[in-house]
Amino acid sequence: MKTFRFALAALLLAGTLSTASVAQSREIYENPQFKTLAQKHKQLAILPFAVTMTTKKLPKGVTQEQVHQQEMQEGKNVQSALHTYFLKHQSSDNFTVTFQDINKTNSLLSKAGITPENISGKTSEELATLLGVDGVVSGTFVTDKPLSDGAAVAMAVLVGVSGPTNSGRTSISINDGATGELLWKYDKALSRGLGSDTSTIINAIMRKCSKMFPYAKS
């Protein structure tokens, strides 16, 4: 009987791990032609993220314009957190590319009259040419909890094989600068948690997909 129970437990564990593996693979897309398209890539630029805070009712004293301004700031916060993550892991993960300083990226965008409001009207090729890079990293961050009084978004990445909630979702994409082709994309559902901030969220997200990040040498 003990042998049977052990075998059953092992089978269930294997099934759980398999399910988790499938779920992880569905969250990540890699272009089948990635090695060909990115073989000469040397530097990528990280763009400010498009942050959306959705809510049916604004907190007392908070206007839609304040929410919009906070979205713009959070977009740069996510950009900064992702850039910091890449810099910290440049050596340990053996990245085959470098990442343009975000101050230079934002300065070049500003001088060209490109803002968070109109950047979606530019192609990846146009942005890469303007920034002088081989590819661009962009993304979205959606949450149903707007910020007020400078409070941080209380978000945490879902773990295990739990199902997604409606609390939010983040997406990170890399596009080739020469062709505009989508090279890699990572989608992740988020849920609220205590004590989280932008940096914590990005670190958690990237740790989960680090082994499948295409520019990291295995």
Task: Dump pLDDT digits (tens) for 26-67.
Answer: 689 999 999 999 999 999 999 999 998 877 777 777 788 888
Whether 14 is in a domain gets the answer: no
- Our count of domains for the chain comes to 1
Whether 7 is in a domain gets the answer: no
Whether 65 is in a domain gets the answer: yes
Residue 198: name the closest of 86, 79, 104, 116 by CA.
79
Whether 196 is in a domain gets the answer: yes
Q: Domain of residue 122: give its range.
A: 28-212
Whether 21 is in a domain gets the answer: no
Whether 103 is in a domain gets the answer: yes
Task: Dump pLDDT digits (tens) for 115-161.
Answer: 999 999 999 999 999 999 999 999 998 877 643 333 343 333 323 33
Whether 96 is in a domain gets the answer: yes
For the chain, give the mean pLDDT: 79
Whether 73 is in a domain gets the answer: yes
Query: pTM (2 decimals)?
Result: 0.78
Compute the average pLDDT of residues 190-196.
52
Long-range contacts of 148-153 (CB under 8 A, 24+ apart): 148/59, 148/61, 148/62, 148/66, 152/196, 152/197, 152/198, 153/74, 153/196, 153/197, 153/198, 153/201
Rounded distance, CA 105 to CA 107, Å? 6
Kindly report the CATH number assigned to the domain that includes residue 108. 3.40.50.10610
